[in-house]
Amino acid sequence: MTDDKDVLRDVWFGRIPTCFTLYQDEITEREADPYYLLLPRISYLTLVTDKVKKHFQKVMRQEDVSEIWFEYEGSPLKWHYPIGLLFDLHASNTALPWNITVHFKNFPEKDLLHCHSKDVIEAHFMACIKEADALKHKSQVINEMQKKDHKQLWMGLQNDKFEQFWAINRKLMEYIPEDSGFRYIPFRIYQATTERPFIQKLFRPVAPGGQLHTLGDLLKEVCPTAITPEDDEKTIQVMIHGIEPMLETPIQWLSEHMSYPDNFLHISIIPRPTD
């Protein structure tokens, strides 16, 4: 029988095959070949695309290069969302590889945050972890950690080191057994169909009566539109890491096993494809 730790590995080693193409209007000295890459689902676009950048810069003049950004079918891709989330939200149920367009001009200031260096990503990542721990443990665990532990979390992500990351992250996943779970579940629900960036509310993993809350309970409470009434045909998919967990799945278990490295459960709600 499969072990829960395999879930952690599967989540960590999730890869999305991606084809990067330079935007047609970018000025190049010669034609740029597309660039193919396996992107880690749990990482960030700007963290893993140095090679892409280098590849396209080779065919461009220095003065035409400014900050790189990515777009999929007209939507600028937010680098500060994990790659897996971006894919689930925008490109689930499409043919692979994922076709991403690379831009060096006309940075969409209103849609994207600037990312001038890896430090910005690190700061964002650490901020998420801290927020998550504030929800889970009133920040007690993250505050007890040393600076080097924080660094190790980041280095683990950056260098794709599962063991290195989890050696520290496991502490963030602990809780007092008598509580049966975290204080609140750090989650964010994204909807492809709305303008609102995401839903985030306080939600406890255990009902006052002691029974475990499920994914369904969460959706019912914070995003009722995602729940299809029993009889209706399902028009909506609830995706985490490219899969649709059953609504009966305990939310605490999901939080422990299927959170992104930033310790948040990033849940995408997308329309079910009509064949």
Partner 1 sequence: MAMPSSLLWAVDIFGRVYTLATTGQYWELCKDGQLEFKRVSAVKQCCWGIACDHQVYTYVFSSDVPIRYQEETYENQRWNPVGGFCEKLMPSDRWQWSDVSGLKHQQLDSFTLPSPHWEWESDWYVDENIGGEPTEKGGWTYAIDFPATYTKDKKWNSCVRRRRWIRYRRYKSRDTWAKIISLEDPSQLPDPFNDISIGGWEITDEPAGRLSVWAVSLQGRVWYREDVCHHNPEGSLWSLVATPGEVVQISCGPYDLLWATLWEGQAIVREGIDRNNPHGISWTVVESPGSENGIMHVAVGVNVVWAVTKDRKVWFRRGVNSHNPCGTSWIEMVGEMMMVNVGLNDQVWGIACDDRAIYFRQGVTPSELSGKTWKAIVSGRESDRSQTGSSTSLLSAGCFFSDEVRDQANSIIQSDGDISSDTESPRVPPNHADAPLSGAAISSNENNADSQKEVGAHLAVDSLDSAQEEANSTSSSSEKAGLEKPESSVDQDTHPAELQWTNIDLKEAHKNPVLTSSTFRETSSVSSLGLFPVGIEEPYGTDEHPFWAWVSGGGCLVDLHSPLKWFTIQTGLSSSVQSLSLSITPAQTAAWRKQIFQQLSERTKRELENFRHYEQAVEQSVWVKTGTLQWWRSWKPHKWMDVRVALEQFTGSDGVRDSILFIYYMHHEEKKYIHVFLNEVTILVEVLNDSKHSFALYTPERTKQRWPIRLAAATEQEMHDWLALLSMSCCESRRIQGPPSHHAVWSVTCKGDIFVSEPSPELEAAPHLIPCDQMFWRQIGGHLRLIECNSQGIVWGIGYDHTTWVYTGGYGGGFIQGLASSADNIYMQSDVKCVYIYENQRWNPVTGYSSRGLPTDRYMWSDASGLQECTKVNTKPPSPQWSWVSDWYIDFNVSGGTDREGWQYAADFPASYHGHKTMKDFVRRRRWVSPFPESSNEDAPTARTEEGMDQLQSFAFYGGVPNLFFVLIHLATIKRETGK
Select 76 or 242, whichever has its Cβ closest to partner 1.
Answer: 242
- At its nearest, how many Å lie between partner 1 and the CB of residue 129? 17
- At its nearest, how many Å lie between partner 1 and the CB of residue 165? 10
- At its nearest, how many Å lie between partner 1 and the CB of residue 228? 17
- At its nearest, how many Å lie between partner 1 and the CB of residue 274? 20
Select 200 or 249, whichever has its Cβ closest to partner 1.
Answer: 249
Contact of 99 with 19, CB cutoff 8 Å = yes
- At its nearest, how many Å lie between partner 1 and the CB of residue 27? 25
Distance between CA atoms of 212 and 206, rounded to whole angstroms? 4
Select 105 or 161, whichever has its Cβ closest to partner 1.
Answer: 161
Select 143 or 194, whichever has its Cβ closest to partner 1.
Answer: 143
- At its nearest, how many Å lie between partner 1 and the CB of residue 79? 13
Distance between CA atoms of 136 and 171, rounded to whole angstroms? 11
- At its nearest, how many Å lie between partner 1 and the CB of residue 33? 13
Distances (CA, A) of 192 to 188, 237, 238, 259: 13, 11, 11, 20
Select 118 or 183, whichever has its Cβ closest to partner 1.
Answer: 118
Select 194 or 228, whichever has its Cβ closest to partner 1.
Answer: 228
b/e sequence 138-161, b meaning 16+ C-beta within 10 Å: eeebbeebeeebbebbbebbbeee
- At its nearest, how many Å lie between partner 1 and the CB of residue 48? 4
The separation between the first and the last C-alpha atoms of the chain, rounded to the nearest angstrom, is 34
Select 2 or 24, whichever has its Cβ closest to partner 1.
Answer: 2
Contacts for 125 with CB less than 8 Å, ≥ 6 apart? 44, 153, 154, 157, 261, 262
Whose CA is closest to 184, among 226, 125, 132? 132
The amino acid at residue 82 is P
Select 37 or 112, whichever has its Cβ closest to partner 1.
Answer: 37
Look up tokens 């939600």; give the residue: 203
List of residues contacting partner 1 (CB under 8 A)? 1-8, 10-11, 13-18, 36-40, 43, 48-51, 96-97, 118, 158-160, 163, 166-167, 170-171, 173-178, 180, 212, 241-246, 248-250, 252-253, 256-258
Distances (CA, A) of 248 to 55, 214, 244, 253, 256: 45, 5, 11, 11, 16
Question: Residue 260: helix, strand or coil by DSSP?
Answer: coil
Look up tokens 């459960």; give the residue: 265
